[in-house]
Structure 1
Amino acid sequence: MMSLNSHKRTILKQVLYGREVRKFEALMSSNLKEMRNDSVSEDARKGLGGGVRDSYTEDSATDDQLITPSTYSVASGCTLLRDPRYNKGLAFAEKERDAHYLRGLLPPAVLSQELQEKRLMHNLRQYDVPLHRYMALMDLQERNERLFYKLLIDNVEELLPVVYTPTVGEACQKYGSIYRRPQGLYISLKEKGKILDVLKNWGEKSIQVIVVTDGERILGLGDLGCQGMGIPVGKLSLYTALGGVRPSACLPITIDVGTNNEKLLNDEFYIGLRQKRATGKEYEELLDEFMQAVKQNYGEKVLIQFEDFANHNAFDLLAKYNSSHLVFNDDIQGTASVVLAGLLASLKLVGGALADHTFLFLGAGEAGTGIAELIALEVSKQTKAPLEETRKKIWLVDSKGLIVRSRMESLQHFKKPWAHEHEPVKGLLDAVKAIKPTVLIGSSGVGKTFTKEVVEAMSSLNEKPLILALSNPTSQSECTAEEAYTWSKGRAIFASGSPFDPVEYEGKVFVPGQANNAYIFPGFGLGLIISGAIRVRHEMLLAASEALAAQVTQENYDKGLIYPPFTNIRKISAHIAANVAAKAYELGLASHLPRPKDLVKYAESCMYSPVYRSYL
């Protein structure tokens, strides 16, 4: 059936005796690719992207789909059932059960994937506690990968708050208690000097996206140390479900340098290092070793997404590695891109151009300054005005009040571009009255800070005040959707970071939008992958924002929405990926050549599909 030289035959024999499984996978993959050339489309053979299709398309190149289950079932069908990548549970057909030694290992019934999905959704809806739903979904992911992603894709609006914010925050807080098995790599100070070896311990070699955290600033919950692993795991689930990046190409990593959370240090179930956080040179050396090891092990084009690092490290890490690695900070850049998309879309409701508006932020950390900078860049792009000029209509309030030039010497470096000439102002309400903004954006991580007086002041200044309460989780939101609509007498255009239910006010139903990073980062990452981008530039973020804003329909606007529904997220991600990839080609940062003719169709063709495969 296929020719094997003596070396390959030796590896095959070793596998049949239960050894060298991964080598056999590689062998089978390379030979199956040769065998299946006749089943690949004519476009694929001609090359829509100079060989990119061979590396990234769903059928012809997704490595984990080219390996037949018989690789695992030669010795025992139990091995197949215990491998989440290939297990189909009761969906194995009669002939498959005979062919792969499953007879008797499963009950007699044969259930379709659709029926399995229906049963699981019924079971999930019986749970009253969101954390229990989260745990049930994580259990499913560990036993049947395809069914997990099929469930998530088909029920994204219902399940997104479970696998992502707000439930993932509670999961991180209790991660030590609910921990079952490692879902990613843990790299602690104990591994210093051996990080490359640790990376090689991970079973998958073709990694395209790494999401990494050090757990110091998890959502609005603070320092959760090693238990921050829930964030990379959740983000990468969305990379697959929403962006179509194959699961085996995703690697969650937690860098454990200790924690300053006394409650965790005294918790007998805490799973991380029991010491105060390392800082300074010790921290920098560990992170530098990690970054170099990733590049050495996975190559130039692996995307490293920084997640939930504290301000004092996040900006420095992004600046330090932006020119040498493919890096992206979701808190700084992803949040900025999704908020900018909402602002661009909202112009059809509030009128004017982006340059006509005045922006006031509560919060001057990673999210606030990141959003502010991207707004300024977009206005500069549209008006051709210098960046220094476009920043002047953007004002930030931190814990000490309005950021003004007289405070310059005491400001952290990332706040200094926003120190404009103005007399000092202490509180947010006074800042609203003084600056007279048309847009109010909350990224403070402090709940209930958009008070009734603040919302009423915004409403007195604007016919349609645009209010974005972005802090996560829900408990930390600056105000609720109901408060925004009620206090503005139904005139506010509102969006939040966490989900809120529709609100009825004076007989009219208002549907709040969600400025969720999940709109951006999966498609953004896919765009980098399909273009073979080697660096991230702000032009790509602007391209992602513009693509997302373009997906908002008139039907959405009629409901007061400035974001499209998540039910169309894969289509949205494909358009974002195409825009990002196009910008990478335009900037000369793409390595997959030649450029595909239709980038949207190409992005869609590259997406992982969770539909079961036949194993006959």
Structure 2
Amino acid sequence: MQVELVMANIRAIKEDLTKYMYLRDLQDHNKRLFYRVLQLYTTELMPIVYTPIVGAACQKYSMLFKRPRGLFITVHDAGRVPSILANWPEPDVKAIVVTDGERILGLGDLGANGMGIPVGKMALYSAIGGIPPELTLPVCIDVGTNNETLLKDPYYIGLRQKRVKGNEYDHLIDEFMEAVVRRWGRQTLIQFEDFANNNAFRLLEKYKTRYCVFNDDIQGTASVAVAGIIASLKITGTKITQHTFLFQGAGEAALGTADLLVMAMEQEGMSTEDARSRIWLIDSQGLVTLSRTGRVDPHKQHYAKQATESKNLEEIVDLVRPSCIIGVSAVSGAFTASILKKLAAFHKRPIVFALSNPTSKAECTAEEAYQHTEGRCVFASGSPFDPVVYNGKTYVPGQGNNAYIFPGVALAVMACGVNEIRDEVFLVAAKALADLVTKQDCEEGRVYPALETINETSLRLAAKVAQWFYTEGFATHRPEPDDKYLFLKGKLYDATYDGSSFTKHINGKSAWSSLNPSFTR
């Protein structure tokens, strides 16, 4: 009855930001009811607690701020980060989402207002991945902001100074990482979120073999994008090695996806060089070429082509004739009617992924994609679009939401006691997600399972990832469970009033306590 009352109140609210605030208040005052509602009405509420509404919430986060959720660590706290973590009231944390707020979705530098992203992600960890909220911690590393509007905002909750960079920044992140391990152990999962390109790749490379860490913008986005592409092959009747990929954008999401596509093509027997030759990138300076004046970023160097320089997307489409075009540039409307028509002329079933978030930044709408390709394209987007009717047929756009990936991967990582997350994990997750796309999904134009099934989808994906951890020797939890699905299902957070993961006992212990014998509750 309380769940239905909550939903009746939400549906009576007209403004999306007001709905967001209603849910935040519910999370603060009745945690179980919040997660129960989110579990039962995931499809309806996920756009509010996460993309696209969370973007608008972050832009106004200081104005909406009522009470802190998560942990803020500032550059002025250097030298005492361990004592700040010690103040966190929960005795055991197994998953952290951390941001420095420099590149929030496609909205840019939002500073401390970016805390809305870790808060939203952690809510999905519990609602979708079944991870007890007590084990999760949102963190914002506040080193300032270069956003002049925020610096002049009298209500801004962050530091009123320009961003700190260089050694001072690096030492603070180092101290944070070390403090997490000292406080909660080597197997604490740390998810990096919305760091700027220059820091995202560098920090991932620096920490990925020393900590249990991944970057969702690089690896999570790559995994969900590649999953959609693999599922698209069921519709197009082709192999991944037959496609040519053009990325509008060459940042974290593009390069992460490109690298994972190469790995997928390598597993199909293609050489690394041939796989990379099928991937073209466009960045802010135009087509990434070998002849470009100035130095090409090392992460893009693998994909630089011997071709004429151009900044005109339509010219580049004519040159490359891609069978798959992927938008991750946050340039609204980049996929024009003319470009979409060209793709349809080049290929019978072109793949069009407009993945930029929020909705206002999408490269094209679902309606534009279907209309200008005569209903022949395979379409997916980063933010949700309503079904489209074209020539009497209804197409259901797939939403390439990272929520299909990170909660399930996190569940497997935490439950299996993993110390290090290899890149291959995200290809395993991508294939597991694509396998769950049904024939009916394909007939409707979907390349992802329906959001209504995301809880079960996440659990089944986690089981496939857990199996890989044990097969490859990365899991430390012993004994190895015979049935990974049932093993993980037994650990899920129960949001009902009379149940909890902490009240499910195995031999007198919590379902999660076996990973940390000293933890009792």
TM range (shorter): over 0.9
Residue of structure 2 equivalent to 1:462: 347
Segments of structure 1 that go 5 or more residues without pairing to the other structure are 1-114
Q: How does 1:411-426 map to 2 (within 5 A)?
A: 411-426=296-311
The offset of 1:399, in angstroms, is 1.8
The offset of 1:557, in angstroms, is 0.9
In 2, Cα distance between the equivalents of 1:169 and 1:194? 31
Residue of structure 1 equivalent to 2:512: none
Residue of structure 2 equivalent to 1:245: 131
From 237, 245, 253, give the equivalent of 1:359.
245
Deviations 1:269-293 (A, max 9, x none): 0000000000111111111111111
Q: Does the residue aligned with 2:375 lie in a helix, a strand or coil?
A: coil
Segments of structure 2 that go 5 or more residues without pairing to the other structure are 504-521
Residue of structure 2 equivalent to 1:273: 159
In 2, Cα distance between the equivalents of 1:604 and 1:409? 53
Residue of structure 1 equivalent to 2:325: 440
Deviations 1:365-398 (A, max 9, x none): 0000100100001110121x33233111011111
Residue of structure 2 equivalent to 1:373: 259
In 2, Cα distance between the equivalents of 1:205 and 1:173? 32
Structure 1 runs of 4+ off > 4 angstroms?
A: none
* Partners of 1:471 and 1:497 within 8 A in 2: yes
From 180, 185, 193, give the equivalent of 1:299.
185
Count of aligned positions: 501
* Partners of 1:306 and 1:327 within 8 A in 2: yes
In 1, Cα distance between the equivalents of 2:414 and 2:461? 12
Percent identity, please.
49
Residue of structure 2 equivalent to 1:125: 11
**Structure 1 pair 565/408, CA: closer, same or farther in 2 (3 Å)?**
farther
From 268, 292, 298, give the equivalent of 1:407.
292
Q: Does the residue aligned with 2:12 lie in a helix, a strand or coil?
A: coil
Task: Tell me, yes or no, if structure 1 residue 450 matches structure 2 residue 335.
Answer: yes
Task: Tell me, yes or no, if structure 1 residue 157 matches structure 2 residue 157.
Answer: no
In 1, Cα distance between the equivalents of 2:499 and 2:185? 33
Task: Tell me, yes or no, if structure 1 residue 184 matches structure 2 residue 70.
Answer: yes
In 2, Cα distance between the equivalents of 1:392 and 1:587? 30
* Partners of 1:300 and 1:326 within 8 A in 2: yes
Which moves more between the two structures, 566-575 or 236-245?
A: 566-575
The offset of 1:421, in angstroms, is 2.2
* Partners of 1:407 and 1:419 within 8 A in 2: no
What letter matches 1:213 in structure 2?
Answer: T
Question: Bigger radius of gyration, 1 or 2?
Answer: 1
In 1, Cα distance between the equivalents of 2:31 and 2:499? 15
Which moves more between the two structures, 281-290 or 503-512?
A: 503-512
What letter matches 2:157 in structure 1?
Answer: I
In 2, Cα distance between the equivalents of 1:241 and 1:296? 28
In 2, Cα distance between the equivalents of 1:523 and 1:167? 23
The offset of 1:408, in angstroms, is 7.7
Task: Tell me, yes or no, if structure 1 residue 545 matches structure 2 residue 430.
Answer: yes
* Partners of 1:258 and 1:275 within 8 A in 2: yes
Residue of structure 2 equivalent to 1:203: 89
Deviations 1:179-211 (A, max 9, x none): 111110000012110000000110012111000
In 2, Cα distance between the equivalents of 1:261 and 1:472? 19
Deviations 1:509-559 (A, max 9, x none): 111110000000000100111111110111111110011001111111110
In 2, Cα distance between the equivalents of 1:183 and 1:392? 46
* Partners of 1:258 and 1:273 within 8 A in 2: yes
TM-score when scaled to structure 1? 0.80
From 456, 464, 470, give the equivalent of 1:571.
456
Deviations 1:255-306 (A, max 9, x none): 0000000000000000000000001111111111111111111101000000
Q: How does 1:8-407 map to 2 (within 5 A)?
A: 115-383=1-269, 385-407=270-292
What letter matches 1:573 in structure 2?
Answer: S
Residue of structure 1 equivalent to 2:515: none
TM-score when scaled to structure 2? 0.95
From 467, 474, 496, give the equivalent of 2:381.
496
Deviations 1:491-514 (A, max 9, x none): 111100000111111222111110
* Partners of 1:341 and 1:545 within 8 A in 2: yes
The offset of 1:163, in angstroms, is 0.1
What letter matches 2:326 in structure 1?
Answer: I
Question: CA RMSD of the aligned region, Å?
Answer: 1.3
Q: How does 1:521-600 map to 2 (within 5 A)?
A: 521-600=406-485
Which is helix-richer, 1 or 2? 1
The offset of 1:145, in angstroms, is 0.8
* Partners of 1:185 and 1:253 within 8 A in 2: yes
Which moves more between the two structures, 386-395 or 124-133?
A: 386-395
Q: Does the residue aligned with 1:504 lie in a helix, a strand or coil?
A: strand
In 2, Cα distance between the equivalents of 1:525 and 1:422? 41
* Partners of 1:539 and 1:583 within 8 A in 2: no
What letter matches 2:47 in structure 1?
Answer: P
Residue of structure 1 equivalent to 2:507: none
